[in-house]
Amino acid sequence: MSAGRARLAQLPAYAVHRIATIKRRLLAAGRDVIDLGAGDADLPPPEIAVRTLAEAARDPKMSRYAFQTGLPEFRQAAARYLERRFGVAVDPVTELLPLVGSKEGLAHLTFAALDPGDGCLIPEPGYSPYMGGAVLAGATPIVVPLRPENGFLVELEELAPAQLARVGLVFLNYPNNPTTAVAPREYLERTVACCARHGIVLAYDNPYCEITFDGYRAPSIFEIPGAKDVAVEFHSMSKTFCMTGWRIAWAVGHADRIAALQQVKNFVDTGPFLAVQRAAAATLDAGDGIVRPIVDTFRRRRDAAVRALGAIGLAVTPPKATMYLWVPLPDGIPSAPFAERLLEDEFVAVLAGSSFGPAGEGYFRVALTVNEARFAEAATRIARTLAHARQAV
């Protein structure tokens, strides 16, 4: 097998794609599907985004190639947001790069930061493009299980010294998908220090930093002293502003690392649609007023979903952040067959814990993508599948 094919063969099936295929079949058969799978809420994008995009689409200049430079006003708005929200000052020209959604940036960073054979540390359960990027770039994945006992944190110093020495890049994501864990400041400080000591690039994936509850405030990694020397942070419009399909995000970090990522992207894409960059800039500048009602909606959904699952015997601690619940399954019920039966018999899509890697076993993830009444209906259906699964144990 050629090297490229061998790399593809290392990649697992992509769970969200699989669900979409089954969902299409169920919908075609007239089934009432409730999709709690992908992190793709049913809420509309902000009005200012839609209006600005519509106007920008009429400007012929917006239809030209964006290239990697993109629209200066988007870079500047993203830099203003970082300053306003986290007190982090960055140069919008050299330290910030527009992305066609953060997913591609995360995957492409592996090509920018690693040579074939270098170690890439991947938390499991975790977002699939970390593994996808590492494998496709020919790096060596070093999978670290996230465990509830230590708050689902990756403890670099717990790796064997020889293994730590091989790590060139680590992916961290707090607030975390799928476990919903958040990272204490002290943890981030010692992790940044460890990356600096060992020359490790820290990819800090931060798309959920605005979806936080009960007074919790998620930091930027650049609030941590020394982070500029080691980190590239990824921000996205997708979740905060319900703009998943718009494909607009940005990376921020040391100018050398951003230049390296840009050089990779020079050869694989030509940047996000300029009209989308204009709309994203206007949305970012419109500020908190837009974000607050979206977060309030997720908080209400979280509370209702925790209550509904509790009522059917699935205890979940309300998470401080993200648009997910990471739900422990009763002992002995494997997550993949459970999720499959739930979808095929009850038409409710969730993600099996094991679809995030074997260390995700024992859980399933629900996304807070539907309103409270729909979730209540989903919980009734989940209860039926659970009852069948319990009988089979």
In three-state secondary structure terms, 77 is: helix
* Dist CA 125 CA 353 (whole Å): 7
CB 92 within 8 A of CB 254: no
Using the rule CB under 6 A, which residue among 15, 34, 35, 39 binds ligand PLP? 39
Sign of CA dihedral 336, 245, 249, 209: negative
Nearer to ligand PLP, 105 or 168 (CB): 105
Does residue 277 touch ligand PLP according to CB under 6 A? no
Does residue 123 touch ligand PLP according to CB under 6 A? no
Nearer to ligand PLP, 198 or 278 (CB): 278
Does residue 173 touch ligand PLP according to CB under 6 A? yes
Nearest to 189 by CA among 133, 149, 230: 230
Nearer to ligand PLP, 355 or 385 (CB): 355
Using the rule CB under 6 A, which residue among 52, 68, 110, 177 binds ligand PLP? 177
Q: Which of residues 326-365 bind ligand PLP (CB under 6 A)?
A: none
Nearer to ligand PLP, 92 or 98 (CB): 98
Does residue 238 touch ligand PLP according to CB under 6 A? yes
- What's the closest the beta carbon of residue 311 comes to ligand PLP, in angstroms? 28
Using the rule CB under 6 A, which residue among 101, 132, 133, 319 binds ligand PLP? 101
Six-digit token pair at 160? 């064997």
The contacts of residue 34 (CB under 8 Å, 6+ apart) are 347, 348, 349, 370, 374, 377, 378, 381
Show the DSSP H helices in 242-287 as ranges: 255-266, 274-286
CA angle 385-302-238, nearest 5°? 105
Using the rule CB under 6 A, which residue among 127, 204, 241, 250 binds ligand PLP? 127
The secondary structure of residue 194, as a DSSP letter, is H
Nearer to ligand PLP, 198 or 319 (CB): 319
Nearer to ligand PLP, 70 or 385 (CB): 70
- What's the closest the beta carbon of residue 133 comes to ligand PLP, in angstroms? 12
CA distances from 9 to 2, 89, 128, 136, 298 (A): 11, 42, 15, 10, 38
Which residues lie near ligand PLP (CB under 6 A)?
39, 101-103, 127, 173, 177, 205, 207, 236, 238, 244, 249
